[in-house]
């Protein structure tokens, strides 16, 4: 059962209503659910329209890519899944999602977050410190006889400091930890949805603006050291931007590889 | 058999890393063998070799018009192809059992695999009721647009 929206979120959503278009309307709120992506996927299967949004303050079965657990303790994060049906936008939707979360967090908090290909949202301290992840995106779709019908774009945003498992401590951070004060979760939610509405509207007119914004937010896409797995073993190289199809370009020796999928490890 | 058919067989061998392929039917015997580390090469194509009983001084008959056995089989088999370029996953997460195995009965809309591109996890569902008879791609391998993923023997 859905629950009433906390008042800070309701106020922030009302203040951004005009900029959000259909995103966040309708919006289903849960203080706790299994996984917002699963709930949104179920709604999409039953015909939920573009922009239908599921928000939870905690997930009991949150996950990242390939079933990796996304640590989602109560009160620490904001878990948001949005039904997207604009299939013109689909090929670059995951990049646009990264742009939307990064811009939403920037607008709501002023933090200078960056993107790591394709769409991790990170704080990048001065070298040699490693980037710390502030938000992640898991996009899921289903293709059958009728082709792609919808994409569920799920965001997990670390709002407050949590007792992260040991393995995560040097790789994760929160808006509260970076800002030094409690964040306004409602503003983060509302500005992210508004940025997503803007990004998807841009994409339906063509990829140029979103690609340009993505590139501006992702300095690590140039000159970053990466490793990735191929059928013939692990390769490494130096990032050399992204192609107009969103592929990460990596220079290795005298070749430039195009990476469209799979794991990329940042060194 | 047309040149295109042979090309298709060579492509199939490349895709599945087959070392040897042999096809025998009336009036035709085709054997393609790949040397170690070599791309597939056509070793022998006696395209119009007549069946022994028909051997005579007469000129060899024209090859029979297209479709015997192999083509009939492809009518019963539905081949599921990749709708996108990406990485192929047979299971929802590492260590989990595959969505489907060869011999499994599947229903229309059942998830067969995931293809991931730029962190979009795209569940590929079956368009048919039937039985999985072939799985062409290994877990974690890159796939191209239109590449074969599974063959399903359909049931009406």
Nearest-by-CA chain B residue for A90: B120
Flag whether pLDDT at B70 surpasses 60.
no
| Helix A7-15 vs helix A185-203: crossing angle, to nearest 10 | 40
Flag whether pLDDT at B59 surpasses 80.
no
Angstrom distance (rounded) from CA B150 to CA A266? 34
According to the model, what pLDDT value does residue B43 have? 39
CB contact under 8 A, B118 and A66: no
Question: Which of A62-76, A80-94, A173-187 is predicted with the least confidence, judged by mean pLDDT?
Answer: A62-76
Question: Which of A24-28, A191-195, B69-73, B121-125 is predicted with the least confidence, judged by mean pLDDT?
Answer: B69-73
Flag whether pLDDT at B2 surpasses 70.
no
Flag whether pLDDT at A167 surpasses 50.
yes
Going by their DSSP bridges, the two strands A27-30 and A53-56 should be labelled as parallel
Flag whether pLDDT at B135 surpasses 70.
yes
According to the model, what pLDDT value does residue B58 have? 46
- Domains of chain A, earliest start first: 7-217 (3.30.930.10), 221-266 (2.30.30.100)
Strand segments, DSSP code E, in chain A are: 27-30, 53-56, 77-84, 114-116, 120-123, 132-144, 147-158, 222-230, 233-242, 248-252, 255-259, 264-266
CB contact under 8 A, A261 and B85: yes
Which residues in chain A have their CB less than 8 angstroms from residue B120's CB? Answer: 90, 93-94, 139-141, 151
According to the model, what pLDDT value does residue A168 have? 58
Angstrom distance (rounded) from CA B129 to CA B155? 6
Sign for the pseudo-dihedral over CA of B51, B53, B55, B59: negative
Q: Beta partners for A77?
A: A158
Integer angstrom CA distances of residue B93 from A69, A152, A264, B11: 11, 18, 17, 30
Question: Which of A203-207, A263-267, B34-38, B108-112 is predicted with the least confidence, judged by mean pLDDT?
Answer: B34-38
Which residues in chain B have their CB less than 8 angstroms from residue A139's CB? Answer: 119-121
Flag whether pLDDT at A99 surpasses 50.
yes
Backbone φ and ψ of A81, nearest 5°: -130, 135
Cβ atoms within 10 A of the Cβ of A260, count?
18
According to the model, what pLDDT value does residue B71 have? 47
Flag whether pLDDT at B9 surpasses 90.
no
Of the two residues B38 and A41, the one the predictor is more confident about is A41
Which residues in chain B have their CB less than 8 angstroms from residue A246's CB? Answer: 118
According to the model, what pLDDT value does residue A135 have? 95
How near does any CA of chain B get to the CA of A4, in Å? Answer: 31
**Contact of B10 with B2, CB cutoff 8 Å:** no
- Interface test mutation site (partner B, options A138, A144, A210, max chain B beta carbons within 10 A): A144
A204-249 tens-digit pLDDT = 899 999 999 999 999 999 999 999 988 788 999 999 999 999 999 9
Unique residue bearing structure tokens 């990406």: B86
According to the model, what pLDDT value does residue A62 have? 76
Backbone φ and ψ of A253, nearest 5°: 60, -130
Rounded to the nearest integer, the mean pLDDT of chain A is 91
Cβ atoms within 10 A of the Cβ of B78, count?
17
A15-72 tens-digit pLDDT = 999 999 999 999 999 999 999 999 999 999 999 999 999 999 988 887 766 666 666 6
- Domains of chain B, earliest start first: 3-46 (no CATH), 77-154 (2.40.50.100)
H or E stretch at A33: none
What residues contact residue B78 under an 8 Å CB cut-off, 6+ apart? B127, B128, B130, B151, B152, B153, B154
Going by their DSSP bridges, the two strands A120-123 and A132-144 should be labelled as antiparallel
According to the model, what pLDDT value does residue B82 have? 92
Angstrom distance (rounded) from CA B89 to CA B99? 9
Of the two residues A65 and B42, the one the predictor is more confident about is A65
| Helix A185-203 vs helix A208-217: crossing angle, to nearest 10 | 140
pTM: 0.79
According to the model, what pLDDT value does residue A177 have? 92
According to the model, what pLDDT value does residue A88 have? 80
Burial of B151 (0-12, 13-18, 19+ CB in 10 A): buried
């Amino acid at each position: 059962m859905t629950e009433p929206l906390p008042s800070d979120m309701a106020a922030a959503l009302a203040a951004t209503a005009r900029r959000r278009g259909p995103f966040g309307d309708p919006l289903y709120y849960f203080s706790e659910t299994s996984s917002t992506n699963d709930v949104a996927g179920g709604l999409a299967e039953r015909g939920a329209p573009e922009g239908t949004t599921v928000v939870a303050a905690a997930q009991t079965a949150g996950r990242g890519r390939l079933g990796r657990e996304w640590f989602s303790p109560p009160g620490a994060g904001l878990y948001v899944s949005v039904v997207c049906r604009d299939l013109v936008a689909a090929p670059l939707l995951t990049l646009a999602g990264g742009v939307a979360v990064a811009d939403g967090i920037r607008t709501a908090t002023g933090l200078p977050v960056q993107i790591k290909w394709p769409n991790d949202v990170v704080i990048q301290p001065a070298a040699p410190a490693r980037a710390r992840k502030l938000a992640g995106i898991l996009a899921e779709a289903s293709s059958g006889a009728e082709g792609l019908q919808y994409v569920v774009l799920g965001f997990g945003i670390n709002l407050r400091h949590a007792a992260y498992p040991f393995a995560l401590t040097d790789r994760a951070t929160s808006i509260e930890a970076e800002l030094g004060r409690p964040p306004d979760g409602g503003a983060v939610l509302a500005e992210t949805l508004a940025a997503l509405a803007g990004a998807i509207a841009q994409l339906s007119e063509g990829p140029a603006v979103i690609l340009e914004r993505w590139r501006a937010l992702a300095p690590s896409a140039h000159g970053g050291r990466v490793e990735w797995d191929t059928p013939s073993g692990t390769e490494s190289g130096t990032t050399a931007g992204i192609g107009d199809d969103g592929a990460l370009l990596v220079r290795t020796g005298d070749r430039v590889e195009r990476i469209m999928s799979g794991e990329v490890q940042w060194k | 058999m047309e040149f295109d058919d042979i090309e298709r067989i060579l492509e199939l061998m490349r895709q599945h890393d087959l070392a040897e392929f042999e096809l025998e039917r009336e009036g035709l015997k085709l054997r393609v063998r790949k040397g170690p580390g070599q791309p597939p090469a056509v070793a022998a194509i006696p395209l119009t070799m007549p069946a022994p009983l028909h051997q005579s001084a007469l000129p060899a008959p024209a090859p029979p018009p297209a479709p015997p056995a192999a083509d009939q089989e492809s009518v019963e088999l539905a081949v599921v192809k990749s709708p996108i370029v990406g990485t192929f996953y047979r299971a929802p997460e590492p260590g989990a059992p595959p969505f489907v195995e060869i011999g499994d009965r599947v229903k229309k809309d059942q998830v067969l695999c995931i293809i991931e591109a730029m962190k979009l996890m795209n569940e590929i569902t079956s368009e048919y009721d039937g039985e999985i008879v072939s799985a062409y791609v290994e877990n974690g391998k890159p796939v191209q647009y239109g590449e074969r993923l599974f063959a399903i023997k359909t049931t009406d």
